[in-house]
């Protein structure tokens, strides 16, 4: 078990937020053996109360290396001298074998608790490792029962459930995303329909020539609908490619903070159906107008 608290740190610019957590080094590294730290760096971090362990991604982002003295700013916790600057020395850099998020910084909980201006003894949450996953619910229930009706009641959950609770604070993401998708869909429908209508108006005489050469009304209808479908399908495929690229590039972050976020294979046929529906809806009115256009009226506008 190890305590953990949100430090609310940033470096240089408040927009450059860094996930920072005070922990107890030895229990933390025992609980997370996937954190790969060289033995000498591990020992140096444990021995230095003002030392910090950072991820490889964070080291690459700011060019930090072992031994650097880093002044971190906290938007939440002030020191006893009234300063919000927490100076730590980087004693180790960890890697994750499966490509997880390595852009966080860990400091000693003891150093943090003794140095902060207020809240000594308070902890944001405790990380507890159990022997078997199926014991999570009964163990959590027993822990909560110990502190029931106390000044510090607890709510024990899995790490996945905790990550979901952070997302729930934002709101109903499903409803928000659905609303955004619907708004984007209708915007695309209007833009595509306007594009096709403008295209038909600009090529009125050409449509008249096609009909003069023997193209039937249904043939002209098919040409306009095909153009609308081509526009929507090409745009949709580009969007899918961009979504897939983002999913691959930011997969470690999504896995940690948005569990379950992915672009599964079954999305492709459904996306194609949406593209076809959008193309048909956008091209229906302009195609009907082109089909009903009489040759005399079309050539008169030449």
pLDDT digits (tens, 9 = 90+) for 122-134: 898 999 988 888 8
Q: CA-to-CA distance for 173 and 179, rounded, in angstroms?
A: 10
Q: What's the pTM value of the predicted model, to 2 decimals?
A: 0.60
Per-state percent for the chain, helix, strand, coil, to nearest 5? 55, 15, 30
Q: Which two tokens stand for residue 253?
A: 């972050």
Query: What are the residue ranges spanned by the domains of the chain?
Result: 2-123, 173-300
Bigger pLDDT: 111 or 158? Answer: 111
Q: Which two tokens stand for residue 50?
A: 């003002």
8-48: pLDDT as tens digits: 898 887 777 888 999 999 999 999 999 999 999 999 999 99
237-287: pLDDT as tens digits: 998 888 888 877 776 666 555 555 667 778 888 888 988 888 888 888 888
Q: CA-to-CA distance for 299 and 293, rounded, in angstroms?
A: 10
Q: CA-to-CA distance for 197 and 126, rounded, in angstroms?
A: 61
Q: CA-to-CA distance for 33 and 39, rounded, in angstroms?
A: 13
């Amino acid at each position: 078990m190890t305590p953990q608290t949100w430090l609310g740190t940033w470096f240089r610019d408040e927009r450059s937020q860094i996930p920072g957590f005070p922990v107890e080094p030895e229990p933390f590294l025992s609980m997370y053996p996937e954190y790969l730290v060289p033995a000498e760096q591990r020992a140096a971090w444990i021995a230095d109360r003002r030392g910090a362990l950072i991820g490889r991604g964070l080291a690459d982002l700011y060019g930090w290396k072992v031994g650097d003295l880093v002044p971190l700013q906290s938007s939440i916790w002030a020191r006893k001298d009234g300063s919000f600057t927490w100076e730590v020395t980087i004693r180790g850099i960890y890697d994750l074998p499966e490509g997880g998020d390595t852009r966080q910084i860990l400091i000693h909980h003891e150093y943090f608790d003794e140095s902060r201006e207020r809240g000594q003894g308070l902890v944001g949450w405790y990380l507890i490792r159990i022997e078997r996953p199926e014991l999570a619910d009964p163990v959590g229930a027993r822990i909560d029962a110990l502190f029931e009706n106390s000044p510090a009641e607890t709510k024990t959950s899995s790490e996945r459930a905790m990550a979901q609770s952070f997302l729930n604070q934002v709101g109903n993401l499903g409803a928000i995303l659905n609303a955004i998708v619907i708004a984007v869909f209708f915007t695309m429908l209007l833009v595509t329909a306007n594009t096709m209508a403008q295209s038909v108006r600009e090529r009125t005489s050409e449509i008249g020539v096609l009909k003069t050469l023997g193209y039937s009304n249904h043939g002209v209808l098919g040409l306009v609908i095909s153009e609308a479908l081509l526009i929507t399908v090409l745009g949709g495929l580009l969007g899918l490619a961009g979504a897939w690229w983002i999913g691959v590039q930011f997969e470690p972050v999504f896995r940690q903070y948005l569990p379950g976020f992915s672009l599964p294979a079954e999305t492709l046929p459904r996306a194609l159906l949406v593209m076809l529906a959008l193309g048909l809806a956008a091209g229906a009115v302009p195609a009907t107008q082109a089909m009903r256009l009489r040759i005399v009226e079309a050539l008169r506008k030449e």
